Structure 1
Amino acid sequence: MTDPNEMGFFDHLEELRNRLIKSVGLWLIVFVICFIYAKPIFAWLAEPLVEISKSEHLFAATRFEEPFLANMRAAFWTSLILSSLIFFYHFWGFVAPALTKEEKWFAIPFIIFMALFFIAGCWFSFEYVFPYALSYLMEWNAGELNAFTRSSYLHMLFLFVMGMGVSFELPLVLLFLAKVGLVTSGFLLDKFRYAVVIIFIAAAIITPTPDPFMQTFLAAPILLLYLLGTGLAWLVQKKDEEEFEAMVQGADGDSAEDQDGTPISEDWQK
């Protein structure tokens, strides 16, 4: 195999293209399978609305092609979530050759947890966040004739699901930034008030209504994820400090000197 360190710019582009083709090809297989079972998948996705309204006859079609397009949309987003493991795997395959052995020990679980956290966020939103938001919105329709299009329902559903799935990546992003030395736990705690503002703005974008209570309900889990990421950053920082101290103590720094006569231990401390 070609040494990745000797690959040129266009060689890397070719490798990226091959990875993208493989990812999209495998995703298309998952999409076709999901589309074959689109009707039961849509029935499963509609369960939160069915449980709240206590009725299975809720959806109206304003156009002839609307049910077909809604089933396709349900298959598309479901296959995209299920294929996240494929995308993360090929992302790992693309960056792995450029990593050292030590970096791979960190990157392998990192990539795995990125996929698991994304799926966990989607599941958490579907099971808890979205049903609550839907119930809140349905209260405003009390006494009204409730008939919704499938597409409008799926649009709101996957807005919550995908938004929370991406939000669950926040602890891992902070962990990575701490690992490469861009942030520290103290810095994250110091900037917590700014994080609160940014998270509430993001929650306002995701939520379909300007209601502050629903916005808070969506922002609260993301704030907890930020604090979790801060804790992970502290663990990384503490581990790096312990490794540094062990390296200094393990060296014969009291007598060893570098070329300019400065003790090696003093150079490491600097």
Structure 2
Amino acid sequence: MSSASPGNLPPEQQEMPLIEHLLELRNRLLKMVLAVLVCFAAIYPFANELYLLLSQPLRELLPVGQMMIATDITSPFFAPLKLALVLAVFAAIPVILYQIWSFIAPGLYAHEKKLAFPLLFTSVILFYLGAAFAYFVVFPLVFGFFTAIGPEGIVELPDIASYLNFVLKMFFAFGVAFEIPIATILLILSGATTPKDLAAKRPYIVVGCFVIGMLLTPPDIISQTLLAVPMWLLFELGILFGYLAVRHRPDDGYPDDA
């Protein structure tokens, strides 16, 4: 048993008073906000061009002569502004997660640090992949369905603010859905469940994926299926990596953190 006093421990393993924790948290939060503001300052000058790029999947499918409109007098200003702010948060996610990691890392064991950082990095990549999947795969199919199913003689003039709210909701839904492998692995490694137990619940998971797809997407079978099927496949991927993680985990407990 070690007799080292707290003063002899490395700085990252020494206990900090509450006030120092609060100051550290404040500094981390300020850095997160600063990162978002810097990204926003870089993105906002191109907000109108980015909105045109974001709306391209819908505008390409509108009949000749039809276009998007602004039903609110402030929409031409606030819609690109909102888009720039959301994109700034998306762009700053690596910095935000790094600050979160830096705040909690001193309280983690060595084996937890080795696991947490790869999971954080992978979660960022998966979120971006989910948003990219929504833009390049889901949007063309969903908007093609909506523009083709309308009654004849009805002129489609989508509102720019409503469109932005719709696509941001879809980005968030698919970004979060692509985090399923991370959530699955964490459940397995925490001991809350096992890969075998999760595999046995597969029928319920599949039904749950379609229920979530129904709640998070527009009321059409295409977008619901395009969300539910990737969620199920990502769940299977999480089980696979869960098996690998359990197989390589030591049987005699955690490794020495010394």
Provide TM-score, normalisation by structure 1.
0.83
Letter of the 1:18 partner, please give it.
N
Equivalent position of 1:42 in the other structure: 51
Mapped pair 1:128 → 2:176: no
**Count of matched residue pairs:** 244
CA contact under 8 A between 2:218 and 2:224: conserved in structure 1? no
Give the superposition deviation at 1:246: 11
Larger Rg: 1
Contact 2:138 2:223 (C-alpha < 8 Å) held by counterparts:
no
1:2 Cα offset (Å): 5.2
Deviation (angstroms), 1:127: 0.7
Label 1:15 to 1:246 Cα distance change in 2 as closer, same or farther (>3 A). closer
Tell me the equivalent position of 1:92: 101
Secondary structure at the counterpart of residue 251 of structure 2: helix
Q: 1:83 aligns with which of 76, 92, 100?
A: 92
Picking from 89, 95, 101, the partner of 2:110 is: 101
Contact 1:59 1:148 in 2 (8 A): yes
2:178 corresponds in structure 1 to 168
Decide which moves more: 52-61 or 134-143. Answer: 52-61
Aligned counterpart in structure 1 of residue 242 of structure 2, from 215, 227, 233:
233
Q: TM-score, normalised by structure 2?
A: 0.86
CA 11–200 in structure 1, closer or farther in 2 if over 3 Å, else same:
farther
Match of 1:156 in 2: 166
Instruction: Report which structure shows greater RCO (CA 8 Å, sep ≥6).
Output: 2
In the TM superposition, what is the alpha-carbon distance from 1:216 to its structure 2 partner? 2.0
**Which stretch has the larger CA shift, 73-82 or 38-47?**
73-82
1:207 matched to 2:217? The reply is yes
Matches within 5 A, 1:170-185: 170-185=180-195
Shift of 1:194: 2.3
Equivalent position SS for 1:37: helix
Q: Which amino acid aligns with 1:76?
A: L
Identify if the C-alpha distance between structure 1 residues 15 and 123 changes in structure 2 by more than 3 Å, giving closer, same or farther. Answer: same
Asked if 1 retains the 8 angstrom alpha-carbon contact of 2:68 and 2:158, the reply is: yes
- Report sequence identity in percent: 29
Distance of 1:103 and 1:174 partners within structure 2? 17
Offset at residue 52 of structure 1 (A): 1.9
Match of 2:251 in 1: 244
Instruction: Give structure 1 stretches of 5+ with no counterpart.
Output: 248-270
| Gaps in structure 2 of 5+ consecutive residues | 1-9
1:82-140 Cα shifts (integer Å, max 9, x gaps):
12112111111111111222322222211111111111111111110122111111112
Report the alpha carbon displacement of residue 13 of structure 1 after superposing the two structures with TM: 3.1
Contact 1:122 1:164 in 2 (8 A): yes
